[in-house]
Amino acid sequence: MKQSQLFTKTKKEAPSDEVAKNAQLLIRAGFIHKEMAGVYAYMPLGLRVLENIKKIVREEMNAVGGQELMMTTLQPKEIWEKTDRWDDAKVDNWFKTKLVNGTELGVGLTHEEPIVDAISNYLGSYKDMPFAVYQIQNKFRNEKRAKSGLLRGREFLMKDMYTFSRDQKQHEEEYEKIVKAYFRVYDKLGLGSNIE
C-alpha cells in the first residue's frame, strides 16, 4: 500500500472532544478513528502497527510454550456466579445482555472463569501441567469515565495469559519464564525492560 493511496490523511488539529494525548496524536496521524468515548477503530496504518505488535507478542509467548486460543466474547452468567463475580455490586463494569429467551449473558471483560471452566474439561491429570494458554482478543468494560484514550477504553484489545501448574514452586518458575518473555517483547518494541 502506497501512502498516496491511503484514504486517511493527517489532520492539523486534534478533535476537540478528545482529552487523551495518546488518542489525539493517533487520530491526527490517521491511525485510529474515535467512534465514541472509549471506543476506537483502527485505520489501515494503525491496524498495520497493531498486527506487527501482535506478531512479536505471539513469537515470545509461543517461545515459552504458550498455546494460543480464543475464548468467546459472550459468557454465561452461571460461570461467573460460581465465583460470586456476576453481581454488579462486586464487579461494576460489566456489559451485560440478554438473549431473546431472556437468558442473561456477560460481554467479556476478562476470561479467568471461562478459561478455568474450559480447561477443566480437558485436564486429565496433574501430569499434564505445567502449561500456559493465552489469547489476544477484544474486551469490553463499562467504564464510568473512559477518558484515557487507548489506555482505558470501553472496548480494547488485550492479550491475557493463564498458567496452570502442579504446585507453588512450579507456578513461580513458570511466572519467571513468562516475565522474561514480556521483557523481550518490550525490548523488541523499543520500550526497554527497565520496568519495576
Q: Nearest-CA neighbor of 112 among 156, 160, 55?
A: 160
The vertex-38 CA angle with 50 and 156, nearest 5°, equals: 35
* pTM for the structure as a whole: 0.88
Domain count across the chain: 1
Which CATH number fits the domain that encloses residue 126?
3.30.930.10
Instruction: Let me know if residue 38 belongs to a domain.
Output: no
Number of other CB atoms surrounding residue 115 within 10 Å: 20
| Structural domain containing residue 109 | 46-188
- 150 occurs within a structural domain: yes
If one compares 176 and 93, the residue with the highest pLDDT of the two is 176
- Would 8 be classed as within a structural domain? no
Q: What is the pLDDT of residues 92-104, one digit of tens each?
A: 889 999 999 999 9
What pLDDT score does 194 carry? Answer: 67
Q: Which of 90-99, 111-120, 158-167 is least confident?
A: 90-99
The β-bridge partners of 42 are 32
Q: Determine, yes or no, domain membership for 16.
A: no
For residue 88, the SS3 value is coil
Once rounded to an integer, what is the mean pLDDT over residues 131-149? 90
Q: Which three cell numbers stand for residue 129?
A: 501441567
Classify residue 74: in a domain, yes or no.
yes
Lowest mean pLDDT, pick from 103-107, 137-141, 150-154, 179-183: 150-154
Residue 105 belongs to some domain of the structure: yes
- Grid coordinates representing 153? 477504553
| Integer Cα distance of 100 and 21 in angstroms | 41
The answer to whether residue 196 sits within a structural domain is no
pLDDT of amino acid 196:
58
The strand ranges marked E within 108-147 are: 131-140
63 within some domain: yes
- What does the pLDDT average to over 109-131? 93
